[in-house]
Amino acid sequence: MPSVPLCFELIKSLDKTEKIHFKRYLSYQSEKGEPTNYLKLFNELDKMPQYDAERLRRKFAKEKFMKHLPVSLNYLNSLLLSSLVNYHTKKQDYFLAEAMLGEIRVLFQKKLYRHCERQIKRARKFMEEREFLLHLYTLGAYEYNLVARQMQKDEISDLNRITKERRSLLKKLDEELVVFSLNNTINQYVREKQLNPNRDFTKETEVIENELEQLKPAFETGRTTFKLFYTLSVDRLFYLKDQPVESLRTAHQYLSIKLNLPKNLRYNDEADLSSLINHLSNANQLWFVDEIKYWLPHFDIIKKRASGLTHRSNLLKYHFTFQVLLLEGAFDSLKNLIGQLMKELDVLLNNNVAYFQFLMFENLAMYHFLNGNYHESLQWIDRIYKQKTTDNWIQQNVLKTRIIEMMAHFNLGNYQLISSLALSFERFIKKLTNGAYEFVEELNWTRKMKRIDNYNLPKQMKALMETLLLQNYFSIPINDCLVLIDVWTKAHQNNISLKFIWQKVVVDVLDEMKLNANMKELSFEPKW
């Protein structure tokens, strides 16, 4: 079986615009007004789902190039690579910087020093704006040789200046390599902690702290990439040390740097959106409502920069706005938000992946549950279960969904279902735990709910609720499931609506978070 030529794999990697560019790059016609051999080969290979040498032989049996097909395929590969470099030089700054160095090299070899000086000046400005340290270091070599070729005896100071600049660039490059390596190490520890939260990382964090302290002076003079990786490393260090508020504070600083970059240094918009989502998710988990409010406008900024992210940004803005209003107990505002959401829901769901659809279903289930619309809440819960995802983050969120489901059936008087739902929930928790996560309080509550057959309901409602009372659920981060259990239990104890109790409880939770974090508002001022 013949091996697949490199050009075939390369063709299959091209997107539509790259293919169009290649056809323009290649000669469209021969002297006879016919497509060139390489364009014929390209078009045929592009049509193939899998490489088929026999198909080529049949298609081009009368063509002379078939006698030397391997040579033609290799040359086609070279043409494709040249075309891609040409295309991306126009599209990507990094490739353009490489091209600039190539132009300077040619001018220098031709001894066109005046032209060379002009190009070096232009390239330096371009590279400094984009903080291309390695390219600047290479540029310094041409500048050094250019001065050396033309200098008089008293111009040695210029060579010393260039050498000093190049040494400074090398130092910055070395610092970047160190922080990159450190970040990789921290990422490994973070993954281990996610798999085993009880593992002690004291020794590892001490080493990381010392290394970060040594790199601290470079932070002030380092380029943007260094600052981003340094701040990200500090953020993850706090995570390893079980200091979530400090981790969130540093993540705020990281995001401030990332989303306020000048245009030449900006990362792709999808990566920026992912960073924003991760930060707001952590802020939401800590009930840092003011922090969420601070960043909400950035969804509009991102979708203005990238229209392809409009639907995702709109859905996530709805989600986090809902969370802020929920955590503040602002039900009147929530009612207005849900009204707006329902007008756009179908469009948002059709244009977003299941991962984000889940957020809408969960919010709607929670909203209707707290408002006493239990049948409607269960309908949204049913849509959550239909997602059939095994993503660990969603599985943990389904934990709260299952609690809402059990409570909704209880409130509807479907007491006979509770034991089986509790048993299913207990199995779900044990499967989810799998040695990595612990849900002790949730498991205890579930086991108490399984004893529901021992009570004559609804006559002995208060007696049952006495057994379900929680001692304390204030922790960092706040356990949403326990807050919900506390609200539900108090509502039944006092025969008061869930919405009323929720409004009372969330005030206590927010006050407790402010006290623990020693903050008047649950947000951080930007540092850069």
State the pLDDT at residue 386.
80
Question: Helix 392-411 and helix 480-494: axis angle, to 10°?
Answer: 10
Number of alpha carbons in the 13 Å side-chain half-sphere of residue 177:
8
Contacts of 134 (CB under 8 A, 6+ apart): 173
Residue at 304 is within a domain: no
Please say whether the beta carbons of 43 and 59 come within 8 A.
Answer: no
Residue that is last in its domain, among 25, 56, 91: 91
Which of 221-225, 228-232, 512-516 has the weakest average pLDDT? 221-225
Give the whole-angstrom CA distance, residue 79 versus residue 81: 5
Per residue in 505-523, pLDDT tens? 999 999 988 988 888 889 9
More reliable by pLDDT, 346 or 264: 346
Given a cut of 80, whether residue 418 has pLDDT beyond it is yes
More reliable by pLDDT, 479 or 155: 479
Question: Looking at the whole model, is its pTM more than 0.75?
Answer: yes
Number of alpha carbons in the 13 Å side-chain half-sphere of residue 451:
12
Residue at 461 is within a domain: yes
Confidence of residue 436 (pLDDT cuts 50, 70, 90): very low
Residue at 264 is within a domain: no
Give the whole-angstrom CA distance, residue 181 versus residue 190: 14
State the pLDDT at residue 393.
59
Residue that is last in its domain, among 76, 91, 106: 91
Residue at 477 is within a domain: yes
Residue at 289 is within a domain: no
State the pLDDT at residue 152.
64
State the pLDDT at residue 32.
43
Residue that is last in its domain, among 48, 74, 91: 91
State the pLDDT at residue 487.
94
Given a cut of 50, whether residue 34 has pLDDT beyond it is no
Contacts of 241 (CB under 8 A, 6+ apart): 201, 205
Give the whole-angstrom CA distance, residue 188 versus residue 190: 5
Which of 26-40, 46-60, 357-371, 483-497 has the weakest average pLDDT? 26-40
Highest mean pLDDT among 57-61, 110-114, 385-389, 408-412: 408-412
- Going by C-alpha positions, the residue among 99, 137, 133 that lies closest to residue 119 is 99
Residue at 241 is within a domain: no
Average pLDDT, whole number, for the chain?
87
What domain range includes position 470? Answer: 369-523
Residue at 381 is within a domain: yes
Rounded percentage of the chain residues whose pLDDT exceeds 70: 93
Using the structure block, give the residue that is written with the tokens 């190039």: 65
- For 141, the token pair is 């070599």
Average pLDDT of 295-304? 94
Which of 29-43, 136-150, 361-375 has the weakest average pLDDT? 29-43
Residue at 353 is within a domain: no
Confidence of residue 30 (pLDDT cuts 50, 70, 90): very low
Summarize the chain as % helix, strand, coil (round to 5). Answer: 80, 0, 20
Number of domains in the chain: 2
Given a cut of 80, whether residue 239 has pLDDT beyond it is yes
